[in-house]
Amino acid sequence: MADSPQVVVDPARPLVDERFAVRLAGFPPQRRVTVRARMPLDGGLWESRATVGTDGDGTADLDSQRPLAGTYDAADAMGLVWSAERIGDRPAPRERTRTDGNVSLTATVGGERVASATVERRFQREGVTVATVDHSHLVGRLYEPPGESADDRQYPGILLLGGSSGGFPSRRVASLLASRGFAVLALAYFGRDGLPNRLVEVPLEYVESAVEWLADRDRVRPDPLGVVGWSRGGELALLAATRCDRLRTAVGYAPSPITFQGNKLLSDPGPAWTADGEGRPYVPLAGPVGFRSRIVARWLRGRPLSVRPLFERGLARAGEKRVRAATIPVEEIGGPVLLVTGGDDRVWPADTLATRAMARLDGRSYSHTCDHLSVPGAGHDIKVPYHPTTERATRPFPLPGRSLMLDMGGTPAGYARADAQAWARTLEMLDEGLRP
């Protein structure tokens, strides 16, 4: 038994997507101990807590003990992270500070603070480099792993695509993939200077030229390459992988294997994607009767709006011929395919569409690994693991003259499970496809 109470964390300096264990040692036996966690992250300050009981030796393990009280109710030390709630905003610096993501732990007995520890979480390994793409038409950033690889200084390459928010995809995802030995091209395809300002008529040739640019890097193994995308970026990832021979591993988070209209809810702006100057076939959205009134009612009551019915009704009204024309031939990808969905996605029917894609692959005797990971309790906003999930269920959605909350679906615990399972499976699939 320790001479004095200690909060023991292991490892003490993990990446932000890695688990860490929390143990209590040297505490009074058979006592209730409250562990509080506080972390600065994403422009906010977050806090969580768990009360556990020590055993006869004065020890407790948060991975094996269910809290007696707290912000989460499962035996899981990472509950101190995912169940954290925002307690205040912080000034948003242009760059992360060295303490962003760190978790400060304090243990109290009878209201008295008796021990503390800090988990120094890192967004990337030392030596990861980030450079702006030097190309007249491409808008992106290249993340490269630290040091030299063992195979002729070349790393497996990944094209990373964000969703309907536009701009650059997640630098957190890019940094973490680079930390694990992948060269990552984080590509913007609309919403930046020099690109379409909306997700409407985005040329697929732009993505194809980005793939060739990535393959031409000295430190990138040119073939095979992989692609990872979120939401509309997941749709684009599947589409690009059927068109680019080099892209032979595809991962889509909340993706659609059917191409929908450009990114507008209440009217049809035309196709999201073009090829050879022509719009790719797509399914337009269709609002159920009274949907505009529903928007107003939700806004007035301060309640979030689910837009999933627009996609479901659009599919129902499009007819078999149009849906078939808009269906992405996922069987042409030619390598591992992973589709990640939440069972409570309220943005669009990614879960049922992914099931349809898997049936298509099975029906064509797809010879490569393919998997649909559907996680109950998760919504549309599945991300990398071990971050707070308490604000995932909704997202601000601007409308002309007003601001509405978009219903993303899911629960904090459901998202926590989905984040961890999906990220582990993503890394496995990328290893399988890109490290032959």
175 is catalytic: no
Instruction: Establish how many alpha carbons lie within 13 A of residue 116's alpha carbon, considering only the half-sphere containing its beta carbon.
Output: 8
**Secondary structure letter of residue 330 according to DSSP:** G
387 is catalytic: no
Of the candidates 55, 77, 218, the one whose C-alpha atom is nearest the C-alpha of residue 142 is 218
Pairing of strands 44-53, 69-70: antiparallel
380 is catalytic: yes
Token pair recorded at residue 346:
């309220």
Token pair recorded at residue 98:
């060295």
Residues near 289 by beta carbon (within 8 Å), at least 6 away in sequence = none
Cis peptide before 203 (omega within 30 of 0): no
Residues 48, 380, 381, 419: which is the catalytic one?
380
Question: For residues 204 and 365, what is the distance between their CA atoms, to the nearest angstrom?
Answer: 27
Q: Residue 132, exposed/middle/buried by CB under 10 A (0-12, 13-18, 19+)?
A: exposed
Question: For residues 203 and 260, what is the distance between their CA atoms, to the nearest angstrom?
Answer: 15
- 158 in the Ramachandran plot: left (φ > 0), alpha (ψ -120 to 50) or beta? beta
Contact 41, 106 (CB under 8 A): no
DSSP string, 10-52: ESSS-BTTS--EEEEESPPTT-EEEEEEEEEETTEEEEEEEEE
Residues 345, 351, 407, 419: which is the catalytic one?
345
Residues 179, 231, 256, 306: which is the catalytic one?
231
Q: Give catalytic residue positions.
A: 231, 345, 380
